[in-house]
Amino acid sequence: MTYVAKGVPPTLLVYGARDHIVEARFGRELHSRLKAVGASSILLEVPWAEHAFDLIPGLSYRITLPYVERFLAAHLQ
């Protein structure tokens, strides 16, 4: 939150909706602050996912992978 500014790089925020370590509400707050200053931000909240849900490929992994691929393709050209 400290470094939120218009000039920050595009940001993809991926949170597990059931994360008990870093709650999704923090991602929503960061996303809101980024949008408020005009920064590019995408928030993806994965239903039923806990912290480190992508450690073992499964449903959550399959949900998030296309978003990550599209984000990287759009911003790393």
**3-7 CB contacts, 8 Å cutoff, 24+ apart:** 4/30, 4/33, 4/34, 4/37, 4/39, 5/37, 5/39, 6/37, 6/38, 6/39, 7/39
The band of 55, judged by pLDDT with boundaries at 50, 70 and 90, is confident
pTM: 0.88
Identify the DSSP state of 47.
T
Q: How far apart are CA 37 and CA 70, in angstroms?
A: 23
Per residue in 14-35, pLDDT (tens digit) is 999 999 999 999 999 999 999 9
The band of 62, judged by pLDDT with boundaries at 50, 70 and 90, is confident
Which residue type, as a one-letter code, is found at position 72? L
What residue spans define the domains of the chain?
11-75
